[in-house]
């Protein structure tokens, strides 16, 4: 994608370390949505998603109240009033935990977060019933408090789910603003079950009823679908998510077909032609994060000389930027994005702690340096024809043998 902005935004926020936040949790095919062709150069500068100016998926600019702009004592009153209004909907304990994440962020961002929550609950567009609004608000707060619960379900959205984790944990105000924006674009009144919407329809866009999985929340379905369409907006295409049974056939010169392991995801071009969904590349992950967070993210390559060197490089990057690192595992099923949030202490085994959005485990997972090296290195000299091994539901082959002069790399997305 081309860059349609002359400059990118930067953030001066003094943020909590996401590695510390998620690391503390430990102390206490179809599913693999990365495109096959990844980074082609050693360092890839970010490119902003091609978002049309009038795209309904572009987030509105933050509109602070006059008291918020002035930063006077009345701003706290606005926050207190919002809290009083939301507590009966989401509960005092959950809301207090969510607001604790703003301890080192400006009050204006706390106000923005609460305003977005209120916008969800007060949505008068008649696209959602009360039960659905409350479900969205509660799930949003739950995933701000516990980003490890964010999943992709039976969809090829691992890269988008990794982006969602990054934003929910580091910028909950932007996460709430995105969900508030995109949830208003959904008609959730067409079909209901137990007073909670089960059929979600955008104008000419669809999120299927249940993802054929119980692992992905309604909020994540909204965010990942909205982010996919934000990425595609400038190209005149749109992303739709059907059940596999209801998904339309893909038209090709050889005839119509459906994928063998059909997730029900489709891309429609401006003429209505049905195309396959290829997932998001690392470059597109970096661009979405840059666009949404107003902070610079880069898709890059690192060249480790050993498993120990790989984790040392990842540890240094985590310490430098206080944001997680997204990288692809190369499984038999395809490339799959995970989110690395913590590296073991240097004086202990250098294990890697990560989140896997395709796993049903809602906690930090642990992998040795050797296994991470075996499953992430890439390059023309890397040939995987060894014995298979199961890791957290994925099937891997170890690299058979690397020539002495090989220069394998690991692709990553990180904040700058």
Whether residue 348 is predicted with pLDDT greater than 60 in this model: the reply is no
Model pLDDT for residues 135-184, shown as the tens digit of each residue = 888 899 999 989 999 999 889 999 999 999 999 988 899 999 999 888 87
For the stretch 334-343, pLDDT in tens is 899 999 999 9
| Domain parsing of the chain, residue ranges | 65-282, 296-415
The answer to whether residue 371 scores a pLDDT higher than 80 is yes
Joined tokens for residue 135: 């479900």
Average pLDDT, the chain: 76
User: What distance in Å separates the CA atoms of residue 272 and residue 78, rounded to the nearest whole number?
Assistant: 46
Closest CA to 246 of 281, 284, 208: 208
| Angle of the 130-145 helix axis to the 172-183 helix axis, nearest 10 | 160
In CATH terms, is domain 296-415 a member of 3.90.70? yes
> For position 402, what pLDDT does the model report?
81
| Cα separation, 111 vs 13, whole angstroms | 15
Helical (H) or strand (E) element with 326: strand 325-331
Token pair recorded at residue 182: 């995109």
Residue 130 contacts by C-beta under 8 Å, 6 or more apart in sequence? none
Phi, psi dihedrals of residue 82, rounded to the nearest 5°: -65, -40
pLDDT at 86: 83
Instruction: Render pLDDT for 260-274 as a digit per residue (tens, 0 to 9).
Output: 788 889 998 888 889
CB 317 within 8 A of CB 78: no
Q: Kindly report, residue by residue over 319-334, the tens digit of the pLDDT.
A: 888 789 999 999 888 8
What is the pLDDT confidence band of residue 66, given thresholds at 50, 70 and 90?
Answer: very low
Tens-place pLDDT, residues 221-239: 889 989 999 999 888 898 9
Q: Say whether pLDDT at 414 is over 90.
A: yes
Q: Which tokens in the block code for residue 221?
A: 């379905």
Can you give the pLDDT at residue 413? 96
Vertex 115 angle, CA 80 and 13, to 5°: 90
- 3-class DSSP assignment, residue 175: helix
User: What pLDDT sits at residue 88?
Assistant: 82
In our burial notation (b when 16+ CB lie closer than 10 A, e otherwise), range 3-42 reads: eeeeebeeeebebbbbbebbbebbeeebbbbbbeebbeee
Q: Is the pLDDT of residue 384 over 80?
A: yes
| Top-confidence residue, 104 or 254 | 254
Q: What is the pLDDT of residue 16?
A: 43
115 or 204: whose pLDDT is higher? 115
Q: Give 67's pLDDT tier (boundaries 50, 70, 90).
A: very low
Q: What is the pLDDT of residue 64?
A: 43
- Cβ neighbors of 338 (< 8 A, separation 6 or more) are 158, 162, 326, 327, 328, 329, 354, 355, 356, 357
d(CA 250, CA 235): 19
* Unique residue bearing structure tokens 């005092």: 92
203-207, 345-349, 368-372: segment of lowest average pLDDT:
203-207
| pLDDT confidence band for 344 (50 / 70 / 90) | confident
pLDDT in the model for residue 187: 54
For residues 28 and 148, what is the distance between their CA atoms, to the nearest angstrom? 14
pTM: 0.80
The sign one gets for the Cα dihedral 158, 160, 163, 168 is negative
With cut-offs at 50, 70 and 90, classify the pLDDT of residue 56: low
Q: What is the pLDDT of residue 33?
A: 44
Window from 68-72, 126-130, 215-219, 358-362 with minimum mean pLDDT: 68-72
User: How far is CA 132 from each of CA 89, 212, 363, 399, 400, rounded to the nearest angstrom?
Assistant: 12, 19, 26, 48, 51
In the three-class reduction of DSSP (H, G, I as helix; E, B as strand; rest coil), residue 347 is classed as: coil
Give how far the C-alpha of residue 405 lies from the chain's centroid of Cα atoms, to the nearest Å.
36
């Amino acid at each position: 994608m081309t860059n349609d902005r002359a400059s990118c935004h930067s953030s001066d926020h003094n943020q909590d370390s996401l590695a510390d936040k998620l690391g503390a949790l430990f102390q206490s095919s179809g599913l693999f949505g990365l495109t096959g062709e990844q980074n082609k150069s050693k360092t890839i500068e970010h490119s902003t998603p091609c978002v049309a100016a009038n795209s309904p998926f572009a987030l509105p600019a933050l509109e602070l109240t006059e008291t918020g702009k002035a930063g006077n004592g009345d701003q706290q009153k606005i926050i207190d009033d919002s809290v009083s209004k939301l507590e009966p909907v989401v509960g005092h304990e959950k809301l207090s935990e969510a607001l604790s994440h703003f301890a080192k962020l400006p009050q204006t961002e706390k106000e923005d977060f609460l305003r977005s929550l209120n916008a969800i609950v007060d949505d008068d567009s008649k696209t959602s019933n009360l039960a659905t609004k409350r479900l969205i608000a509660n799930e949003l707060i739950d995933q701000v408090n516990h980003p490890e619960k964010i999943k992709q379900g039976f969809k090829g959205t691992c890269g988008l789910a990794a982006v969602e984790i990054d934003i929910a944990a580091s910028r909950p105000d932007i996460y709430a603003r995105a969900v508030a924006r995109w949830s208003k674009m959904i008609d959730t009144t067409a079909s209901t079950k137990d007073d909670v919407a089960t059929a979600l329809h955008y104008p000419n866009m669809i999120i299927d009823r249940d993802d054929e999985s119980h692992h992905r929340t309604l909020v994540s379905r909204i965010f990942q679908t909205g982010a996919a369409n934000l990425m595609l907006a400038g190209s005149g295409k749109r992303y739709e998510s059907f059940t596999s049974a209801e998904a339309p056939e893909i038209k090709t010169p050889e005839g119509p077909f459906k994928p063998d392991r059909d997730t029900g995801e489709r891309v429609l071009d401006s003429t209505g032609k049905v195309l396959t969904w290829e997932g998001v590349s690392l470059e597109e992950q970096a661009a979405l994060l840059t666009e949404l967070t107003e902070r610079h993210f880069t898709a890059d390559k690192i060249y480790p000389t050993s498993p120990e060197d790989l984790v040392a490089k990842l540890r240094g990057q985590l310490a430098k930027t206080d944001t997680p690192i997204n990288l692809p595992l190369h499984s038999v099923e395809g490339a799959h994005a995970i989110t690395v949030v913590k590296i073991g202490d240097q004086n202990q085994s250098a294990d890697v702690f990560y989140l896997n959005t395709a796993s049903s485990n809602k906690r930090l997972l642990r992998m040795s340096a050797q296994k991470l090296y075996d499953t992430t290195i890439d390059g023309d000299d890397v040939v995987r024809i060894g014995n298979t091994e199961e890791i957290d539901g994925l099937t891997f082959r170890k690299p058979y043998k690397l020539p002495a002069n090989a220069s394998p790399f690991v692709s990553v997305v990180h904040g700058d």
